[in-house]
Amino acid sequence: CVIRSGLLKELGIYQDPIGFPLNVGNETFHIVGVLAEDAFLGYARKALSVDAKSSEIYVPYNSILRRHGTRSIVRRSGSSEATDVELNQVVISVTDLDQVLVTARMLGSLLDRNHPEQDYELVVPLEVLSQRQKTQQVFNIALVAIASISLLVGGIGIANIMLATVTERTKEIGVRRALGARRHHIIAQFLTETITISTIGGAIGVLVGVGLVQVLTFFTGWSAAITLSSVILSLSISMAVGIISGIYPARRAAGLDPIAALRHE
């Protein structure tokens, strides 16, 4: 069976519970897994009114059939009554919110084929889903705003650094121009430097972001995935910020008069 972590404390089990025998009525099961308190049934429980206490122990359906068969016998006052063992509720969880309605339609078609009498009710927690989607949208907007401000501040910072570098290296620029360097050589030099700085900063940001995601996933139990495309996009944006931030300093460096630059102290 699989149980919830809260039940371990109630039972006084503080060691590794895997393989631990658990008596439920006259039945004995062995623990093979532990679910976190906020595991997949969180949203379904709110929408479908699933009792938390009755959901703390999970036993495979086939195990129940092997132990009790497909008939349940209830004895009352010397008489007995046999009923079919049936599932009264199935909770299905999807990993992608966009697949909820698609999955619901697929399940509806499957149930229609196997239960033409339509003795079932398919409930989709639309209110909970809608609220979660709105929260996700607000969260995404906030992240985009923070990222945009960070990029703007970072771009201004790089531009200021490169302008200061142009001033400090005025004489070096004059020497290069005197030795035959053309304007586009100076522009290429400073753009290369700004792109390098921004790319290194972007790589450090990606590493820090990956680390923070791992920490949040570990402590909160949230599921998060970092794709290769998102990493490439982040580095590409960093390079673009470097190019944009370095255009003005590079053009200013290339526009210096060689003679005046050589005389600069």
- Tell me: pLDDT of 37 over 70: no
- Tell me: pLDDT of 81 over 80: no
- Tell me: pLDDT of 246 over 60: yes
Choice between 182 and 121, residue whose per-residue pLDDT is larger = 182
179 lies in the same domain as 197:
yes
120 lies in the same domain as 162:
no
133 lies in the same domain as 246:
yes
- Taking the CB of residue 3, how many other CB atoms lie within 10 A of it? 23
Cβ–Cβ < 8 Å for 191, 162: no
112 lies in the same domain as 159:
no
117 lies in the same domain as 136:
no
83 lies in the same domain as 56:
yes
Give the domain-ending residue among 93, 113, 138.
93
Q: What is the pLDDT of residue 31?
A: 87
CA–CA gap between residue 101 and residue 87 (Å, rounded):
23
Q: What is the pLDDT of residue 54?
A: 43
107 lies in the same domain as 140:
no
> For the residues 11-35, what does the mean pLDDT come to?
81
The DSSP code for 14 is -
145 lies in the same domain as 78:
no
- Binned at pLDDT 50, 70 and 90, residue 260 comes out as confident
Please state, rounded to an integer, the average pLDDT across all residues of the chain.
80
> For the residues 59-88, what does the mean pLDDT come to?
68
Alpha-carbon distances of 106 from 100, 112, 155, rounded to whole Å:
10, 10, 49
7 lies in the same domain as 45:
yes
Q: Which two tokens stand for residue 100?
A: 């909820």
152 lies in the same domain as 258:
yes
Domain that holds residue 6: 2-93
What residues contact residue 246 under an 8 Å CB cut-off, 6+ apart? 158, 159, 162, 190, 191, 193, 194, 195
Q: Give the N- to C-terminal CA distance of the chain in Å, as an integer.
A: 80
Q: What is the pLDDT of residues 40-54, one digit of tens each?
A: 555 455 544 444 444
Q: What is the pLDDT of residue 14?
A: 77
> For the residues 138-166, what does the mean pLDDT come to?
90
Give the domain-ending residue among 102, 124, 146.
124
- Tell me: pLDDT of 201 over 80: yes
DSSP 107-136: HHHHHHHH-TT--------HHHHHHHHHHH
229 lies in the same domain as 105:
no
Q: What is the pTM of this model?
A: 0.52
Give the domain-ending residue among 48, 71, 93.
93
Q: What is the pLDDT of residues 115-127, one digit of tens each?
A: 888 888 888 877 6
Q: What's the number of domains the chain is made of?
A: 3
145 lies in the same domain as 257:
yes
Q: What is the pLDDT of residue 127?
A: 66
